Amino acid sequence: MKTLTAATLLATAGIFGLSGCASTGNVTPQYVPPSTYQSYDCQALSQEYTRVNRYVDAARNEQSTLSASGVGVGVSAGRWGISPNISFGVGKSNNTKARDAKLSRLYGERDAIIQSARIQRCSFANGVKIYGE
Protein backbone atom coordinates (compact mmCIF):
# COMPACT_ATOMS: atom_id res chain seq x y z
CA MET A 1 0.00 0.00 0.00
CA LYS A 2 2.86 2.41 0.81
CA THR A 3 4.56 1.64 -2.51
CA LEU A 4 1.40 2.60 -4.39
CA THR A 5 1.20 5.88 -2.48
CA ALA A 6 4.87 6.68 -3.16
CA ALA A 7 4.41 5.93 -6.87
CA THR A 8 1.37 8.18 -6.99
CA LEU A 9 3.28 10.99 -5.29
CA LEU A 10 6.18 10.56 -7.70
CA ALA A 11 3.88 10.68 -10.73
CA THR A 12 2.10 13.77 -9.38
CA ALA A 13 5.43 15.52 -8.77
CA GLY A 14 6.48 14.71 -12.34
CA ILE A 15 3.31 16.25 -13.74
CA PHE A 16 3.80 19.41 -11.69
CA GLY A 17 7.44 19.51 -12.78
CA LEU A 18 6.46 19.44 -16.45
CA SER A 19 3.78 22.06 -16.05
CA GLY A 20 6.21 24.28 -14.15
CA CYS A 21 8.47 24.62 -17.18
CA ALA A 22 6.23 27.30 -18.66
CA SER A 23 6.51 29.53 -15.61
CA THR A 24 8.11 32.86 -16.42
CA GLY A 25 7.47 34.74 -13.18
CA ASN A 26 6.90 38.43 -13.90
CA VAL A 27 8.81 38.37 -17.19
CA THR A 28 6.82 38.33 -20.43
CA PRO A 29 8.43 36.43 -23.29
CA GLN A 30 9.67 38.44 -26.24
CA TYR A 31 8.06 37.32 -29.50
CA VAL A 32 10.28 35.08 -31.59
CA PRO A 33 8.64 33.67 -34.74
CA PRO A 34 8.52 29.85 -34.85
CA SER A 35 9.69 30.06 -38.47
CA THR A 36 13.14 30.83 -37.03
CA TYR A 37 13.40 27.12 -36.27
CA GLN A 38 11.55 25.68 -39.28
CA SER A 39 14.70 24.19 -40.81
CA TYR A 40 15.50 22.26 -37.60
CA ASP A 41 14.55 18.59 -37.30
CA CYS A 42 13.15 17.13 -34.06
CA GLN A 43 16.57 16.14 -32.74
CA ALA A 44 18.01 19.61 -33.35
CA LEU A 45 14.92 21.23 -31.79
CA SER A 46 15.27 19.03 -28.71
CA GLN A 47 18.95 19.94 -28.35
CA GLU A 48 18.17 23.64 -28.82
CA TYR A 49 15.37 23.42 -26.24
CA THR A 50 17.79 21.86 -23.72
CA ARG A 51 20.42 24.51 -24.47
CA VAL A 52 17.97 27.41 -24.04
CA ASN A 53 16.70 25.91 -20.77
CA ARG A 54 20.27 25.82 -19.43
CA TYR A 55 20.60 29.54 -20.26
CA VAL A 56 17.25 30.23 -18.58
CA ASP A 57 18.38 28.44 -15.41
CA ALA A 58 21.67 30.34 -15.40
CA ALA A 59 19.93 33.69 -15.93
CA ARG A 60 17.39 32.97 -13.18
CA ASN A 61 20.24 32.31 -10.74
CA GLU A 62 21.91 35.67 -11.40
CA GLN A 63 21.35 37.48 -8.12
CA SER A 64 22.69 40.91 -8.82
CA THR A 65 24.88 42.77 -11.22
CA LEU A 66 27.85 45.02 -10.74
CA SER A 67 27.28 48.69 -11.26
CA ALA A 68 29.78 51.45 -11.64
CA SER A 69 29.20 54.21 -9.14
CA GLY A 70 31.98 56.51 -10.28
CA VAL A 71 35.34 56.90 -11.90
CA GLY A 72 38.22 58.75 -10.31
CA VAL A 73 41.34 60.07 -12.00
CA GLY A 74 44.24 61.28 -9.94
CA VAL A 75 47.94 61.34 -9.28
CA SER A 76 49.64 59.29 -6.62
CA ALA A 77 53.11 59.32 -5.20
CA GLY A 78 54.75 56.09 -4.28
CA ARG A 79 57.99 54.27 -4.07
CA TRP A 80 58.57 54.64 -7.80
CA GLY A 81 57.76 58.32 -7.96
CA ILE A 82 54.66 60.16 -9.11
CA SER A 83 52.25 58.27 -11.36
CA PRO A 84 48.69 58.73 -12.63
CA ASN A 85 45.99 56.42 -11.36
CA ILE A 86 42.40 55.63 -12.26
CA SER A 87 39.95 54.16 -9.80
CA PHE A 88 36.51 52.72 -10.41
CA GLY A 89 33.74 52.58 -7.86
CA VAL A 90 32.00 49.24 -8.30
CA GLY A 91 29.24 47.78 -6.18
CA LYS A 92 26.30 45.43 -6.25
CA SER A 93 23.07 46.56 -7.81
CA ASN A 94 19.56 45.26 -7.31
CA ASN A 95 18.63 46.44 -10.79
CA THR A 96 17.45 43.35 -12.67
CA LYS A 97 16.44 45.00 -15.94
CA ALA A 98 19.27 43.43 -17.93
CA ARG A 99 18.56 39.99 -16.47
CA ASP A 100 14.83 40.36 -17.17
CA ALA A 101 15.53 41.41 -20.77
CA LYS A 102 17.74 38.34 -21.23
CA LEU A 103 15.07 36.09 -19.70
CA SER A 104 12.38 37.65 -21.92
CA ARG A 105 14.40 36.82 -25.03
CA LEU A 106 15.17 33.30 -23.81
CA TYR A 107 11.53 32.62 -22.93
CA GLY A 108 10.54 33.79 -26.41
CA GLU A 109 13.09 31.48 -28.01
CA ARG A 110 11.91 28.57 -25.88
CA ASP A 111 8.28 29.17 -26.87
CA ALA A 112 9.23 29.42 -30.56
CA ILE A 113 11.14 26.12 -30.33
CA ILE A 114 8.12 24.38 -28.78
CA GLN A 115 5.74 25.85 -31.38
CA SER A 116 8.02 24.69 -34.19
CA ALA A 117 8.32 21.25 -32.55
CA ARG A 118 4.52 21.00 -32.34
CA ILE A 119 4.23 21.82 -36.04
CA GLN A 120 6.70 19.01 -36.82
CA ARG A 121 5.00 16.70 -34.28
CA CYS A 122 8.15 16.14 -32.21
CA SER A 123 7.52 13.87 -29.24
CA PHE A 124 9.58 15.91 -26.73
CA ALA A 125 7.11 18.80 -27.07
CA ASN A 126 4.15 16.74 -25.86
CA GLY A 127 2.85 18.19 -22.62
CA VAL A 128 5.27 21.15 -22.60
CA LYS A 129 3.39 24.40 -22.14
CA ILE A 130 4.26 27.77 -23.60
CA TYR A 131 3.48 31.21 -22.22
CA GLY A 132 -0.26 31.80 -21.87
CA GLU A 133 -1.32 28.15 -21.82
pLDDT in tens, 56-107: 999 888 765 555 556 666 666 666 667 666 666 655 556 678 888 999 999 9
Q: pLDDT band at 132, cuts 50/70/90?
A: confident
Give the per-residue pLDDT at 118: 95
pLDDT at 61 (0 to 100): 84
Q: What is the pLDDT of residue 23?
A: 55
**Planar angle of CA 67, 100, 26, nearest 5 degrees:** 130
Domain boundaries, the chain: 2-65+95-125
pLDDT tops 80 at residue 54: yes
